[in-house]
Amino acid sequence: MVTTDVKEIIKQAAEQEEKAYKFYTDALKFVKDAAAKLWIKELAAEEVKHKEMLLKFDVSKIRKFKPDKVQDLHIAEYLVDKDVTEIKDFQDVLIVAMKKEQKSYNFYVSMAKSTDNADMKKLCKILAQEELKHKHKIELYYDDIIFKED
């Protein structure tokens, strides 16, 4: 039987996806380049899709899910933290976005380690991998765009 805890985690994850969507749409005001704006809009749209997926998630099928393996580039870990209030340009947007995805990833990994409930553990691992996918995508973009500007 699926526990209420799993349903609560799904609800919280959906709320986090909504917050991420708001972050990306708010961040558009700091992006001047048309291609970069389009890319940020795509990230925002992905967050909406993730939220919809979570809200329609069939918790009875959780054991069938297999999280994808994602390479962590660890770029975010070498960058200085920035607060949303400190964003001044596109590079700042990327840094804050990477850091947010890293924090979400860490949260779900921690949750997975802290529970003995197999369904909850599996769900947290799936959600952690999704956050790592987002971080990886942003880190690749950061590497391609920002590091090449130097």
pLDDT bracket for residue 150 (50, 70, 90): low
Query: What's the predicted TM-score (pTM) here?
Result: 0.88
User: Buried b vs exposed e over 81-106: b needs ≥16 C-beta within 10 Å?
Assistant: ebeeeebeebbbbbbbbbbbbbebbe
Percent of the chain with pLDDT over 90: 59
User: pLDDT for 25-57, tens place per residue?
Assistant: 999 999 999 999 999 999 999 999 999 988 888
Give the closest residue to 106 by CA, choosing from 117, 98, 94.
Answer: 98
Give residue 149's pLDDT. 59
Give residue 64's pLDDT. 81
Domains along the sequence of the chain with CATH = 4-149 (1.20.1260.10)
Q: How is residue 67 written in tokens?
A: 């999280």
Helix ranges restricted to H, 2-117: 4-27, 34-55, 90-114
